[in-house]
């Protein structure tokens, strides 16, 4: 069965510090991978996506993620966190073969301390 | 105006009542989805529809039904609401021309069942 694991439920970082959010997946088809962000009271906004090609993908708001097939991982990174990055982050996996139905991880809540 | 609009945004109801959540989209997408979000569980797929005549159950369809009234409209119904259906519900769409795999989300409908 398809699954996505985000091992960290909560992460707290200081403003200006670097960030890495972990995501591991198990998926039978050739996956494409997403990171979404949800600010309090808001819907989900796409940060970045990986379909194929270069395994390091750039997204909005200075985020990037690296696809590592050998580790079944798609970790999200940001070199310097801003207070406005505090939100919940979701990793998701899907495939065209499965009709774009995305399977989501449980989410990681990011807190930023000043 | 939002491309994917959900109504109502907030609803409090009582056990046993019938509830309908509505979703409309202006993106011209063929595919529509209903997800529910629970803390610590991420988003789980309830139902999805690839076109007006195509309705499919998702991971957690028990206790729910849907109607695809038109390409742009997809409603979720709870025939007899129960407290464990208290959650944040999201409608999403995706396109096939081109098929980018990305889901576009509404802002969510928060349902509380007392």
DSSP string, A57-101: EE-GGG-EEEEEGGGTEEEEEESS--GGG-EEEEEEEE-GGGTT-
Inter-chain CB proximity A96 and B99 less than 8 Å: yes
CA distance A54 to chain B (A): 16
Name chain B contacts of A98, Cβ cutoff 8 Å: none
Residue with tokens 């995305």: A102
Digit-by-digit pLDDT tens for chain A (114 residues) are 788 999 999 999 999 999 999 999 998 767 889 999 999 888 899 999 998 888 999 999 999 999 999 999 999 999 999 999 999 999 999 877 776 788 999 999 999 998
**How confident is the model over B60-82, as a mean pLDDT?**
96
| Angstrom distance (rounded) from CA B75 to CA B65 | 8
Min Cα distance A27 → chain B (Å) is 15
Better-scored residue on pLDDT, B100 or B62: B62
């Amino acid at each position: 069965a398809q699954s996505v694991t985000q091992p960290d439920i909560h992460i707290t970082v200081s403003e200006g510090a670097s960030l890495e959010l972990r995501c591991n997946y198990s998926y039978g088809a050739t996956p494409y991978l997403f990171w979404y962000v949800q600010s309090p009271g808001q819907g989900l906004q796409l940060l970045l996506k990986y379909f194929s090609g270069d395994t390091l993908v750039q997204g909005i708001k200075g985020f990037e993620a690296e696809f590592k097939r050998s580790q079944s991982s798609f970790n999200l990174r940001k070199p310097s966190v801003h207070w406005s990055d505090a939100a919940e982050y979701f990793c998701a996996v899907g495939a065209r073969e499965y009709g774009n139905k995305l399977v989501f991880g449980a989410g990681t809540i990011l807190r930023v301390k000043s | 105006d939002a491309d994917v609009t959900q109504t109502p945004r907030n609803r409090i109801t009582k056990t046993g009542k019938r509830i309908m959540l509505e979703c409309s989209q202006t993106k011209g997408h063929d595919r529509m989805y209903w997800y529910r979000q629970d803390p610590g569980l991420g988003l789980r797929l309830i139902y999805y529809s690839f076109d007006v005549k195509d309705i499919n159950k998702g991971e957690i369809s028990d206790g729910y039904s849907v109607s695809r009234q038109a390409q742009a409209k997809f409603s979720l119904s709870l025939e007899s609401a129960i407290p464990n259906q208290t959650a944040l519900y999201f409608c999403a769409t995706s396109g096939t021309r081109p098929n980018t795999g990305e889901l576009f989300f509404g802002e969510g409908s928060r349902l509380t069942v007392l």
